[in-house]
Amino acid sequence: MTERTVTATDRESWVWGPLSALGLTVAAVVVVLDQANKAWMIYVYDIGARGIVTITPFFDLVLVWNKGISYGLLTQETDLGRWALIAFAFVASLALGLWLAHITTRLVAISIGLIVGGAIGNAIDRILYGAVADFFSLHAFGFDWYVFNIADVAIVVGVIGLLYDSAFGGHKKAGKPTKI
């Protein structure tokens, strides 16, 4: 038996695939849009000084600093906790980036890009502000949803895309079992 040598091309295919550029471009666009929106809301529109701004009967703008993850879960009041969430976001983004190298459908590449971009966008907030800046509040019939931002929307849409692909993506069906 001969031993196979790992070449530079093999290593590149492990970290870069045919749809990696698409996924990473989507991630970069999400980060830029998210951070631009947050900078505008905080420094130009000055949402913090305005309080709740009613846009429609079911949609408001309001500044909420989220020290946890989605829905305010796992709230971190210490620097250690904040940096743990930042590290988790970057490790998860790296893992998703490596998975991206092996993706074969555009939907999954775009979905992973949305999740990575959202995770990095919120991690940047934790680094800059110590918490994630959320602005968009939906409410109706006495029920208030959580306050969210563009990064959160990207993550949710990315997860929906992955779930859709998992359920309806046309993955190869298992063949007929062999008779013994």
Catalytic pick from 10, 46, 152, 165? 152
Point out the catalytic residue in the list 34, 60, 125, 134: 134
Q: Which SS3 state, helix, strand or coil, does residue 38 take?
A: helix
How many CB atoms neighbour CB 106 within 10 A?
11
34 is catalytic: no
Give the C-alpha separation, 14 to 102, whole Å: 8
CB 150 within 8 A of CB 30: yes
| DSSP strands (E only) in the chain | 53-56, 59-66, 132-140, 143-144
Angle subtended by helix axes 8-15 and 79-100, to nearest 10 = 120
* Cβ atoms within 10 Å, residue 62: 16
Known active-site residue 10: no
The span from the CA of 131 to the CA of 20, in Å, is: 30
Active site amino acids: 134, 152
